[in-house]
Amino acid sequence: PLGTNGNRTIASLIALKIHEKLRINVRIASDPYRIALITSRPLNPESIIQIIHEINMEMEDLVKALKNTSEYKWKIFHVARRMGVIEKEAKISRIESIIPYLEGSIVEGEAIREALQDYFEVESVKKYLNDINSGKVEIIVVRRNLNEEISPLTKQILMQTLPQGLIPSSEAPLNLVEIVKERIQNREIILACIHCRKWMGKYRLKYIPDEITCPKCGAKAIGTTYREDILKIIDKKFKGRKLSEDEKKDLENFQKSISLIMSYGKRALIALAARGIGPTTASRILRGPQKTEEEFYLEILEAEKEYLRTRMFWGE
């Protein structure tokens, strides 16, 4: 009933309180329908229920919880760029080292204000917690082992959060394939043309045709990237202007994606849209004998799980 922002809010608050009270690292995932908490050591449900009952909605805790989210880091990065505190070409990976210097600043205040408005849902969560404390909403504990069958709703978020080796073994491979396929096909990706340097667009993957051409010039020199300023970087390169190290690396990856897309078509886009998969890993997945759709998505899944396994607590 809380939606995307409401679930993000309550998940962030629970994670904050678990860490403060039990000194346990927590990784969270949320969507409009559910939340998942992945802890660095096992917790019993009663501890979590007690923590939920103890949550207050004071601004101090809301801000602490907000600052632990990737959405806040994204917001303060863009506010800092907008206010001229960091250069326009700065990469978001730098923000971790910059945030401490922005504490108490106008930039931090504006980022908190915007992030609370854009990513948290305070009033709905406050009412929901009041309903829990009054008994109007009941918390039901269902204990399951990972080798037991799980519901489709639970299964989907577990697929996004669990590292290698923790995927329920009872699930049929085809079911896993459908989950991975649906998740990746619903991702939005950026496409751009290096031939005319005039076209860039953001598209949901499932709507992209199998044969990809530039709608401006008809060329097939199409690449994908996470950077919305890729055309500016390409233009700088063609004009002989100096690129930053980050720009060089991102342009190189963009050019590699062009080669993969020209060779493998939409399958290359699918591989590159997966979590933690760059051109090198995508090339390994794509090359060799033609794979069935099931084999293709299962190999993507293995690469994603390896990425999640090695990066599970990278931000903690």
Residue 90: its pLDDT value, please?
73
Task: Summarize the confidence of residues 1-25 as an average pLDDT.
Answer: 92
For the chain, the structural domain boundaries read 3-134, 182-311
Confidence class of residue 103 from pLDDT cuts 50, 70 and 90? very high
Closest CA to 86 of 114, 111, 117: 111
Question: Per mean pLDDT, which range of 32-36, 55-59, 249-253, 271-275 is the poorest?
Answer: 32-36
Question: Burial, 304: exposed, middle or buried (Cβ in 10 Å; 0-12, 13-18, 19+)?
Answer: buried
Task: Summarize the confidence of residues 92-114 as an average pLDDT.
Answer: 89
SS3 state at 114: helix
More confident residue, 9 or 310: 9
Q: What is the DSSP letter of 243?
A: P
Task: Summarize the confidence of residues 2-31 as an average pLDDT.
Answer: 91
Give residues with Cβ within 8 angstroms of 95, minimum separation 6: 73, 76, 77, 80
How many residues does this entry show for the chain? 316
Residue 170: its pLDDT value, please?
46
Bridge partners of 30, per DSSP, are 35
Residue 159: its pLDDT value, please?
60
Average pLDDT taken over every residue of the chain:
86
More confident residue, 77 or 312: 77
Report the alpha-carbon distance of residue 218 to residue 174 in Å, rounded. 37
Q: Are strands 26-30 and 35-39 parallel, antiparallel or unpaired?
A: antiparallel
Q: For a pLDDT cut of 70, what percent of the chain falls above it?
A: 87
pLDDT tens across 134-155, in order?
999 999 998 876 556 667 667 6
pLDDT tens across 167-208, in order?
444 444 446 677 888 889 888 899 999 999 998 988 888 888
Query: Does 162 have pLDDT greater than 50?
Result: yes
Residue 313: its pLDDT value, please?
44
Residue 166: its pLDDT value, please?
46
Confidence class of residue 314 from pLDDT cuts 50, 70 and 90? very low
Residue 67: its pLDDT value, please?
94
What tokens were used for 206? 């499932």
Report the alpha-carbon distance of residue 44 to residue 48 in Å, rounded. 7
Query: Does 164 have pLDDT greater than 50?
Result: no
Give residues with Cβ within 8 angstroms of 4, minimum separation 6: 30, 31, 32
Confidence class of residue 112 from pLDDT cuts 50, 70 and 90? very high
